Structure 1
């Protein structure tokens, strides 16, 4: 089956990235912010697969949709792919000081990594971060931040 063309990435904005940090969108949505920017595209069967624009290291390690929130290896790869000069963008651009001790869960720290990677991707391309932009329907923060939203994959 031939892969469908990669969809245009969801437009980023400060408001959207703050919603990610506040756990107001699903883990899948967070992944779908990242996958097209890594060169992954939907294959028509509900899976995202590496495409020609996917970096070889990503394509070899993750031929299909890296679960950057649910799976530690994908999250570690995402962290390591942030250039040193962009490691502090979360703090510098969003003023994010981190989560409090009682809020430190792998899902949330991986969301912070995802947002920092998205900011680094914008910086690498020389694009600004608009203050506002389209938002998906926002969810209530999950009652159990360890489990996440209904449908979120368990954290490994």
Structure 2
């Protein structure tokens, strides 16, 4: 996971526009949740992962393929940040008939990452 794109608004847009592979999007969220892979031991280090994630997901979940972790991700976004994609980026959403669960989950992940940036005071 050492070759992840820089977390910024360009990356958020690339997630929304499906310019970044699902695997990389998952890895970005895992990274900012605190998951680290220990190559030498071949295990996930969850020491930096919040307890509610570590207990439920001792290994990082696939947010694209599975709804339950995405629901938990949505719930972990502070209320005041729920509409950041629209309010901060001006994202209008996907057009009806042009999206499915995969795009919805990617948008959730993008919003969580944008919220992370805001909470860490990394947004201009």
Normalising by structure 1, we get a TM-score of 0.72
Are 1:98 and 2:93 matched, yes or no?
A: yes
- Asked whether the 8 Å contact 1:38–1:55 carries over to 2, the reply is yes
- Counterpart position of 1:152: none
Q: How far off its partner does 1:97 sit?
A: 1.2
- 1:35-50 map, 5 Å: 35-44=30-39, 49-50=44-45
- Counterpart position of 1:73: 68
| Cα distance in 1, alignment partners of residues 84 and 106 from structure 2 | 14
| Cα distance in 2, alignment partners of residues 33 and 94 from structure 1 | 19
- Asked whether the 8 Å contact 1:42–1:48 carries over to 2, the reply is yes
Normalising by structure 2, we get a TM-score of 0.89
Which ranges in structure 1 are unaligned for 5 or more consecutive residues? 1-5, 130-156
More helix by share: 2
Question: Among residues 52, 57, 61, which one is paired with 1:57 in the alignment?
Answer: 52
Are 1:30 and 2:25 matched, yes or no?
A: yes
Are 1:108 and 2:111 matched, yes or no?
A: no
Q: Secondary structure at the match of 2:44?
A: strand
- Counterpart position of 2:8: 13
| Cα distance in 1, alignment partners of residues 70 and 43 from structure 2 | 17
Taking a change above 3 Å as real, the CA distance of residues 48 and 70 of structure 1, as seen in their structure-2 partners, is farther
| Cα distance in 1, alignment partners of residues 36 and 89 from structure 2 | 28
Q: How far off its partner does 1:85 sit?
A: 0.6
Aligned residues: 123
- Asked whether the 8 Å contact 1:8–1:36 carries over to 2, the reply is no
- Counterpart position of 1:125: 120
Which ranges in structure 2 are unaligned for 5 or more consecutive residues? none
Q: How far off its partner does 1:7 sit?
A: 5.2
